Chains A and B, each alone.
Chain A
Amino acid sequence: MVAYWRQAGLSYIRYSAVCARVVRAALKPQFRVEAVKNAESSVRVNKVKTA
């Protein structure tokens, strides 16, 4: 059985990112700040300047 998100064209990475975002949003306020900070630091997006 194919998962509905797989059928819609999403990968498990996207699924995982959405789930993680939801969990972080449901944290109690004192933990949320730290969690968001940690989450941002694990992935850094560098836009390469094209010539």
Chain B
Amino acid sequence: MPPYTSTKYRMQVCVCARECVAVWISAYLIVMDVIHKRASSKEREKIAQRADERKSNAECVYEWKPPPDTPTPLHPARKAPCDVGDSNKMMAARFLLRRAAPALRQVRCYAEAASGAPQMSFTFASPNEVFFKGVSVKQVDVPTLTGAFGILPAHVPTLQVLRPGVVTVFSDDGTSAKYFVSSGSITVNADSSVQLLAEEAVPLENLDLATAKANLEKAQSEMGSASDEASRAEVQISIEANEAIVKALE
């Protein structure tokens, strides 16, 4: 006979007992659940039965019908008419509107289309001459160090630096004017005003193609004799500028 007082035996008994208790408890819960379900379904049946009885016994049947379609007055905060056909939706909307009234204090309406015909105030000057001063134009094409791009009204504000190239100004009446610009800067502001400040700006007609070609060849021959990096860079700059002039005139 095993000693019933030993610890190992006692522990085994405890574990056994615990498991048994767990099994009993779960069994109890399952049984109660089943009973409850059966009972609630029975109750629901009874309730439905009673409702049917009441309906059949009643003299007049009260049933909620949506009121006939009448245009309901709009909440003053709403400018845009909503779907008036469905009165249910209207009532729900008005209820929600009253709930949300504080948030709707600020007037809300459809987004405005981009205000028609924004104007671009264009200013173009060099140290010697002013070409445009606050003139309203349609588009300006500029050559910048990062590439050539066209600026329209409502362009994103930007600051760009120019390289030798052609600036084309398209004015409101459709005519375009071309200028050759040596370098400078262009500013596009948030109010669509554009300022183009050039170091040296001349109308294309003032440039001479033959002279430009001769200068280009001279610069290219100078490239070989350039000694240090700075002078080489300067020669390279003049080559590029002459190439731009030649390209503009051809």
B199 touches A16 (CB 8 A): yes
CB within 8 Å of B: which A3-30 residues: 3-5, 7-10, 12, 14-29
> What size tier do the contact residues of chain A reach?
20 to 34
Q: In the bound complex, do residue B233 and residue A22 qualify as a contact, i.e. CB atoms below 8 Å apart?
A: no
Query: Contacts A5-B236, A8-B229, A31-B202 given: A22-B164 contact, CB under 8 Å?
Result: yes
Contacts of B127 in A (CB 8 A): 38, 42
- Contact status A25-B211, CB under 8 Å: yes
Residue B212, interface by CB 8 Å = yes
- Given A10-B234, A23-B180, A38-B127, A18–B200 Cβ distance below 8 Å? no
A20/B199 in contact, CB under 8 A: yes
User: Assuming A19-B241, A23-B202, A31-B202, is B230 touching A38 (CB within 8 A)?
Assistant: no
Nearest chain-A residue to B209 (Cβ)? Answer: A26
Contact A10 B230 (CB under 8 A): yes
Contact with A22, one of B128, B145, B229, B241 (Cβ below 8 angstroms): B241
Please measure, in the bound complex, the distance between the C-alpha atom of A3 and the C-alpha atom of B236, giving whole angstroms.
12
Check: B215 CB closer than 8 A to any chain A CB: yes
CB distance from A31 to the nearest CB of B (A): 5
Interface hits, B208-229 → A, CB 8 Å = 208, 211-212, 215, 229
Question: Given the complex, which residues of A lie within 8 Å of B241, measured CB to CB?
Answer: 18-19, 22-23
Listed by A's residue number, 7 A-B pairs whose Cβ atoms lie within 8 Å are A12-B183, A16-B199, A17-B199, A18-B237, A22-B238, A23-B207, A25-B215
Interface residues of B (CB under 8 A from A): 127-128, 145, 161, 163-164, 180, 182-184, 199-200, 202, 206-208, 211-212, 215, 229-230, 232-234, 236-238, 241-242, 245
- A residues contacting B by CB (< 8 A) are 3-5, 7-10, 12, 14-29, 31, 35, 38-39, 42
Extra 16 A-B pairs, beta carbons < 8 Å, given A8-B232, A16-B184: A7-B233, A9-B230, A9-B233, A10-B234, A12-B183, A15-B183, A17-B199, A19-B200, A20-B199, A22-B241, A23-B182, A23-B202, A28-B206, A28-B207, A28-B211, A29-B208
